[in-house]
């Protein structure tokens, strides 16, 4: 069994784009490349999970979104597993905040959920991970939004950036080694 760091996309790796059909609107946060590589060196598998909004049938959104994910895979030598709901229908079985994408990937790659982490930037990401049984959830948010107030009671930490979330994981992994 391996351990994984699951990550949301918007609010975690990149800022929510104003126009999701335009690749230029996707802004990746600082230090993502270094930190993804660091997690790989720490022995974590990387899993990026989320919905592609894809509200408009036939829109080029999927192109821009997938191009962004492709760009992220080139930022690190560590392999990344992706779980994405592309389906228009909100009642789709795999759509976050349902846990299916997490559960499918955990089963396929034999991840140990107890040793794994989730970094969540939005409520749907948080709820899906929680439903999947992930206990080590770190919330990334710059504000004190309503959802983060609700979520932080359950989360192990609330931080303002992806880099700070990685520091928490490093500290916790060091504690496990020290025990
Ligand atoms: Zn789906």
Residue 7 CB partners (closer than 8 Å, separation 6+): 13, 46, 47, 48, 49, 118, 119
DSSP-derived secondary structure letter, 134: -
Percent of the chain residues topping a pLDDT of 90? 73
**100, 93 contact by CB (below 8 A):** yes
At 90 the pLDDT is 75
d(CA 91, CA 5): 27
Mean pLDDT, residues 97-116: 97
For residue 106, give the CATH number of its domain.
3.40.50.1000
d(CA 111, CA 115): 8
Range of the domain at 50: 3-178
Does the pLDDT of residue 53 top 80, yes or no?
no
If one counts every other C-beta atom within 10 angstroms of the C-beta of residue 111, the result is 23
d(CA 11, CA 121): 4
Mean pLDDT, residues 13-25: 91
d(CA 8, CA 119): 6
d(CA 79, CA 45): 7
Which residue's entry shows tokens 């991970």?
129
Cα-to-centroid distance, 95 and ligand 1 (Å)? 5
Q: What are phi and psi of 45, to 5 degrees?
A: -80, 150
Does the pLDDT of residue 97 top 90, yes or no?
yes
Average pLDDT score, the chain: 91
59-76 pLDDT, tens digit per residue, is: 566 788 999 999 999 999
Is the overall model pTM greater than 0.85, yes or no? yes
Cα-to-centroid distance, 15 and ligand 1 (Å)? 22
Mean pLDDT, residues 4-12: 97
Cα-to-centroid distance, 38 and ligand 1 (Å)? 30
Cis check for the bond before 38: say yes or no (omega within 30 of 0). Answer: no
Cα-to-centroid distance, 117 and ligand 1 (Å)? 22
At 88 the pLDDT is 76
**5, 106 contact by CB (below 8 A):** no
Cα-to-centroid distance, 112 and ligand 1 (Å)? 24
User: How sure is the predictor about 47, in pLDDT bands with cuts at 50, 70 and 90?
Assistant: very high
The count of domains in the chain is 1
Percent of the chain residues topping a pLDDT of 70? 94
């Amino acid at each position: 069994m391996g351990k994984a760091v699951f990550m949301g996309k918007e609010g975690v790796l990149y800022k929510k784009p104003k126009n999701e059909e335009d690749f230029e609107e996707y802004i990746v946060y600082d230090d993502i490349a270094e930190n993804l590589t660091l997690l790989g060196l720490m022995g974590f598998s990387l899993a990026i999970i989320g919905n592609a909004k894809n509200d408009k049938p036939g829109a080029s959104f999927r192109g821009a979104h997938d191009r962004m994910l492709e760009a992220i895979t080139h930022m690190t030598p560590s392999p990344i597993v992706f779980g994405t709901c592309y389906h228009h229908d909100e009642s789709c079985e795999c759509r976050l905040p349902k846990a299916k994408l997490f559960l499918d990937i955990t089963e396929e790659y034999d991840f140990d959920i107890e040793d794994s982490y989730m970094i969540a930037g939005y409520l749907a990401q948080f709820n899906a991970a929680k439903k999947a049984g992930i206990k080590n959830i770190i919330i990334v948010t710059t504000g004190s939004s309503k959802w983060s107030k609700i979520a932080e009671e359950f989360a192990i930490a609330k931080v303002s950036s992806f880099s700070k979330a990685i520091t928490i994981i490093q500290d916790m992994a060091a504690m496990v080694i020290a025990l």
